[in-house]
Amino acid sequence: MSDAYIALADGRVLEARCRAPGRTRGELVFTTAYTGYEESLTDPSYEEQVLTFSYPLIGNYGVRADRFESSRIHPRAAVAREFTDEMATWFESEGVPAIDHIETRDLVTSIREDGAMKCGIVAGEDVTPEDAKAELEQCKEMSDHTEIGQQVTTPDPTVHRGGGEADVALIDCGAKGSITDSLTERGADVHVLSCQVTAEEIRELDPDVLFISNGPGDPANFQHTQSLVEEFAGEIPIAGICLGQQIVARAFGGDTEKMAFGHRGVNQPVRDLETDQVVMTTQNHGYTVSDPGDLAVTQRNVNDDTAEGLADDDRGIITRQYHPEANPGPHDSLGFFDDVLAMVDTQSAVTAD
């Protein structure tokens, strides 16, 4: 008997070691990132998912809260070949089940071959394979988490001062904190708002940019946020990252679709179609823009040609599917935040004329 089991949608139940007790279920995904486990685990984009690390040893440089992207761990559980004791303590302190001493290479191969799949995890005393199967049976499809935005958004507006001129309305659909930091470091004042904020409340702020954040789940379940993009399109510049790109594309008549297993790692190559430059990017997404609608595709993934950047120069729109803020990962695309704020200068110049 083991003290941890994971039941997979392909019918298998695998034994593991309990590193933090609990019983849960979620969509099983993996990241190939070899650093940044604190950032990944506190990224709200992983809400309702079970995060598997393909890198074998997780926790080897400790756990520091100043690397966290939000206030808590968001995956429902975590899986690795080996978690350190410090990681086990962190998981247990947050009530998040964690398992290790499992063949993660086999697990990752299964996800790549059969796609991201539902799973059930049980860890602790007196757990059985049947308990894991019972959790699996309760697991919902990702698209059925219709209120997932409300699970992660900010309850109250907050302001983060950069001391400069630009005011950015950041619609928090599960925002990583380093997106705010990347804007304040460039002088912007960032107003972090609920994904349920009204257009009137945004107008009262009179922002220079509407910025749609990253976040978990199916972009089709963010209709209200999409309506905000439709409301302000052409009136003020709009930017978006990851889920934000998907919501903006849908607002401009485009469409999104679920990928087999997504992109999650820190070494995804992306080519700019105008400059032909390739940047290495941090990615964490399971949906993609299948139809850009009225927007132009400006960047594409070198591996699978999926849309990585969208734009509309006339209406001041710029989005990225990947995470330019990195955290973790390469800093090749931090210039995106300069491009966003440059839209403010351009638009204000146009307005002044």
* Binding site residue list: 45, 215, 217, 243, 246, 284, 286-287
Binding-site string for ligand GLN from residue 163 to residue 202, where x marks contact by CB under 6 A and - marks none: ----------------------------------------
The answer to whether residue 311 forms part of the interface with ligand GLN (CB under 6 A) is no
Binding-site string for ligand GLN from residue 30 to residue 69, where x marks contact by CB under 6 A and - marks none: ---------------x------------------------
Q: Is 86 a catalytic residue?
A: no
The answer to whether residue 285 forms part of the interface with ligand GLN (CB under 6 A) is yes
Q: Is 119 a catalytic residue?
A: no
Q: Which is nearer to ligand GLN, 123 or 173 (CB)?
A: 173
Q: Which is nearer to ligand GLN, 13 or 295 (CB)?
A: 295
The answer to whether residue 319 forms part of the interface with ligand GLN (CB under 6 A) is no
Of the residues 91, 287, 322, 337, which one makes contact with ligand GLN according to CB under 6 A: 287
The answer to whether residue 281 forms part of the interface with ligand GLN (CB under 6 A) is no
The answer to whether residue 264 forms part of the interface with ligand GLN (CB under 6 A) is no
The answer to whether residue 254 forms part of the interface with ligand GLN (CB under 6 A) is no
The answer to whether residue 215 forms part of the interface with ligand GLN (CB under 6 A) is yes
Using alpha carbons, select from 320, 280, 269, 266 the residue that is nearest to residue 298: 320
The answer to whether residue 222 forms part of the interface with ligand GLN (CB under 6 A) is no
Give how many residues touch ligand GLN by CB under 6 A: 11
Q: Is 101 a catalytic residue?
A: no
The residues of the shown chain that bind ligand GLN, judged by CB under 6 A, are 45, 214-217, 242-243, 284-287
For the annotated catalytic residues, the residue numbers are: 242, 323, 325
